[in-house]
Amino acid sequence: MDIAKVIVDVPAKDTDRTFDYLIPDSMRTWIEPGSRVAVPFGKRTVQGFVTSMQPEAEPSRFKLRPLQELLDLVPPLSPDLVELGEWMSERYACSRILALQAMIPTALKGKAERYISLADRPVADEAPADAGALLEDDGMSDPVERGIVTYIRSKQQVALQALSRQFPQEAAVIKALLRRGVLQESQTIRDKLQKKMLKAVNLAVPVEEAEAALDDFPKKAQRQKEVLAFLLERKEFLPLPLKEVLASLHVSAAAVKALENKGHLRIEDVEVFRDPYRGRYFKPTQPLKLTGEQQYVFERVIRQLETREQGAFLLHGVTGSGKTEIYLQTISHCIEQGRQAIVLVPEISLTPQMVERFKGRFGDQVAVMHSRLSGGERYDEWRKIREGRVKVAIGARSAVFAPFAKLGLIIMDEEHESSYKQEETPKYHARDVAIRRSHQHGAVVILGSATPALESYHAARSQSNDEFAPLLLEMHTRALGNTLPEVRIVDMRDELREGNRSMFSRALHDGIAGRLERGEQTVLLLNRRGYSTFVMCRSCGYVAGCPECDISLTYHQRSNNLRCHYCGYAAPAPEVCPDCGSEHIRYFGTGTQRVEEELAKLFPGIRVIRMDVDTTTEKGSHEKLLTRFREKKADVLLGTQMVAKGLDFPDVTLVGVITADSSLNLPDFRAAEKTFQLLTQVAGRAGRHQLPGEVFIQSYTPDHYSIIHASRHDYASFIRDELNHRRSLHYPPYCRLIMVTFSHEQLPVLVRLAENFKASLEGKARKLGWFGAMDRFTPDVLDILGPVASPVPRIKNRYRFQCMIKWRGQIDAVGLVRNVVDEMADAVQRQHLQISLDVDPQMLM
């Protein structure tokens, strides 16, 4: 018999490999790489994925067991996705099963359910004559036992859970019956399918009969009569949701229940239909005429598509240059080729307007994968893709795994967004996965952005032979021909010097006042991310930074000192500014709430919409707030980065950035890049319509290159400066990073083990000739920073330490690190150490 190699759903170190199973003849034609199966695993039944099959079971050391069940007729994973999973598990140092699970909806994460049924045949040796007799005629001495057996017989088989509910006190009896072989247990995998069920009311008898019953209804049962009449009135809409009936008539469930008991009606479970966009009309759109620049880009991409060979492009186009129209037209072309396309957008940009643009062009050939969909809705959208009923999948990060058979095009919009990196295991980057998939399918990738990530831009420009290097395409002008808005930098040090201690400069204050008078709108951006505080001098703009790592030091209140999160450097918190001696040195980090309060104080009666994590957690609230603002029900929209996204309102003529510095001084080597991207994005959004726009950027460090270049919409200069900076300090793209985080309940043990790790890794790297500082004059280098306390030093009673590994060249750094981690398996097991790896981390705070 053939054997199947199966990855089982048991996320542990020593089960992270395939297990062999015999393929029963009944399943032979159905089993493929990617099939989801139920397999016996020790005492239990678990879910697994077939990775490959082998023709004949060579004499094995193991007694192979057969596959128990095939869980889907169409495999949820295609062979290429199985292979992709293998690649992911290596590249991101995660288990195979987690890589595979990241690719499919959680609805398909089945769990074992235990069933109880009567034993197939009496067990001869343990309970000879007795058992047979029991089965024949319930001739049991114990009435409780008889009750249980009778119940199970009536149902054929009962889930253990349901049985325990039915007989809550009799667990011991059930156990005994199992032991005696009267009952037997089996397990199957049950999908975690959240089929949306709803209690609904329906007539249990023909309409005429119900109408007749209505006529001679007992007088005292008026409520029941009302219910019945209500149902008959709406007979063509039956079954009606129970909730609705109760609410419209203000009756209690008792009345309905009574009618059910009398046999007039029935309360049933109906499945609720799940199409998040059902009943919505999307206005069809036609392809727009492309500008010269657009045409050039379009043709270059089409040429690549025509070859049906892999190709990747980095489309760098200024805001408003018309990237989306290029996406739409290349997708059309891809569909005409008989292939399918994936569109990736950052979670936060996946707004109804965004969806509308694609549904407007491609109608119901589009599936949308949105994190706000319920598990069931996601599952249904995903099935449309797998069954080939749609040609385009649009969604956030995980849509990169859309199971298309003939993938021709993957578009990643706003490719610089850090949300493309998953922060949980498997910690993959959708950009890398996209490019890897494109190689498997001979597909084309378009990475689009007005402010490409440094890594992408550098890879494109250096034209390396790296399989991940894209080809650069640029668009410098706006499609509609309007110019980018004027941006003014306001030096907040001057404000302080001249006696203005408020968070609003005089210019911004006057700007807001003017907008209020004219009935125009203002957007205020507070670009604060994370919660760490840094120390800055309000007189001169000095920021305490690490002498070794050139990132801001973080203030720690408990010890009243400043620390570096990369290398562990610590210094006492200064009382006066070390640079200018001013006493106006303090911790920074203003919240949106404080800005809102100050606005109310300065402009009595001002209508402010505040948008931050506090006001947008509720489903759809983000959208609601923006709509309210669009309808001019507020004068000011105030928020964190999220306001920068939906920013396309005709009456917004002023955009103010409260302090550009707050994201600039985060302890993250990407701080300047993130700041530049955010400011550019904000600046590019204002004045898109008739009214001219103004942008004010307030800053205590107005000379910083990221602020100056952003104000001039000058990506090229920013890139030049930032690359120089990264090169001199040995940060990506001039090296790569691996973050290793250790956690343990006891701090001393944790520190010792983290040091052990470092020593071991260093030793191995030395032997290979890799170990050394990054400024060493060799191509292959690996350096280890730390271990130091993590930015969040304790989570759930576990202390956390981390090591950052910097490396470059043609070395298998991930493999080596993994190797060292594997060798610490003993400590992990015995001392409950936890180790987590993040390859190419994005968030370093």
Partner DNA sequence: AGCACGCCGACT
Partner DNA sequence: GTCGGCGTGCTC
Interface positions with DNA (CB under 7 A): 10-12, 14-15, 19-21, 39-44, 62-65, 829-830
Nearest Cα residue to 540 out of 564, 573, 576: 576
Q: Nearer Cβ to DNA, position 10 or 159? A: 10
CB of 57 to DNA, least distance (A): 10
CB of 11 to DNA, least distance (A): 6
CA atoms within 13 Å, Cβ hemisphere of 71 = 26
CB of 15 to DNA, least distance (A): 5
Q: Nearer Cβ to DNA, position 427 or 670? A: 427
CB of 100 to DNA, least distance (A): 16
Q: Nearer Cβ to DNA, position 40 or 772? A: 40
Distance separating alpha carbons of residues 277 and 130, to the nearest angstrom: 61
Cβ 81 vs Cβ 50: under 8 Å? no
Give yes or no for a cis peptide into 284 (omega within 30° of 0): no
Q: Nearer Cβ to DNA, position 767 or 830? A: 830
Residue 350's contacts (CB-CB under 8 Å, 6 or more residues apart) are: 368, 370, 394, 395, 396
Q: Which two tokens stand for residue 643?
A: 């306001």
CA distances (Å), 378 to each of 194, 274, 579, 601, 738, in order?
Answer: 10, 9, 55, 46, 32
CB of 61 to DNA, least distance (A): 8
CB of 94 to DNA, least distance (A): 13
CB of 410 to DNA, least distance (A): 33
Q: Nearer Cβ to DNA, position 40 or 79? A: 40
Residues in the chain, overall count: 845
DSSP-based three-state secondary structure for 343: strand
Distance separating alpha carbons of residues 402 and 393, to the nearest angstrom: 7
Q: Which two tokens stand for residue 478?
A: 């706006």
Neighbours of 300 (CB within 10 A): 14
- The strand pair at 3-8 and 392-395 is best described as unpaired
Cα torsion angle, 77, 82, 83, 84, sign: positive
CB of 64 to DNA, least distance (A): 4
Distance separating alpha carbons of residues 345 and 95, to the nearest angstrom: 27
DSSP-based three-state secondary structure for 574: coil
Distance separating alpha carbons of residues 416 and 652, to the nearest angstrom: 26
Q: What is the DSSP letter of 127?
A: S
CB of 95 to DNA, least distance (A): 9
CB of 583 to DNA, least distance (A): 53
- The strand pair at 608-611 and 636-639 is best described as parallel
The radius of gyration computed from the CA coordinates of the chain, to the nearest angstrom, equals 32
For tokens 């119901």, name the residue.
Answer: 364
Residue 803 labeled ligand binder? no
Distance separating alpha carbons of residues 621 and 618, to the nearest angstrom: 5
Cβ 36 vs Cβ 72: under 8 Å? yes
**Which letter, b or e, does each residue of 380-412 get, where b requires 16 or more Cβ atoms within 10 Å of its Cβ?**
bbbbbbbeeebbbbbbbbbbbbbbbeebbbbbb
Q: Nearer Cβ to DNA, position 37 or 84? A: 37
Q: Nearer Cβ to DNA, position 2 or 598? A: 2
Q: Nearer Cβ to DNA, position 117 or 374? A: 117
What is the CA 322 to chain-centroid distance, rounded? 27
Q: Nearer Cβ to DNA, position 67 or 475? A: 67
| DSSP H or E stretch at residue 222 | helix 222-233
CB of 56 to DNA, least distance (A): 15
Q: Nearer Cβ to DNA, position 58 or 498? A: 58
Burial class (CB in 10 A: 0-12, 13-18, 19+), 175: exposed
Nearest Cα residue to 525 out of 416, 666, 683, 418: 683
Give yes or no for a cis peptide into 787 (omega within 30° of 0): yes
Q: Nearer Cβ to DNA, position 6 or 447? A: 6
Residue 566's contacts (CB-CB under 8 Å, 6 or more residues apart) are: 546, 548, 549, 551, 667, 785, 786, 788, 804, 844
CB of 48 to DNA, least distance (A): 10
Distance separating alpha carbons of residues 249 and 518, to the nearest angstrom: 50
Q: Nearer Cβ to DNA, position 44 or 234? A: 44
Q: Nearer Cβ to DNA, position 19 or 277? A: 19
Q: Nearer Cβ to DNA, position 204 or 824? A: 824
CB of 239 to DNA, least distance (A): 37
Distance separating alpha carbons of residues 689 and 572, to the nearest angstrom: 51
Residue 577 labeled ligand binder? yes
Q: What are phi and psi of 350, to 5 degrees?
A: -80, 65
Nearest Cα residue to 486 out of 686, 716, 709: 686
Distance separating alpha carbons of residues 568 and 836, to the nearest angstrom: 20
Residue 334 labeled ligand binder? no
Residues at the binding site are 537, 540, 546, 549, 564, 567, 577, 580
Residues at the binding site for Zn(2+) are 537, 540, 546, 549, 564, 567, 577, 580
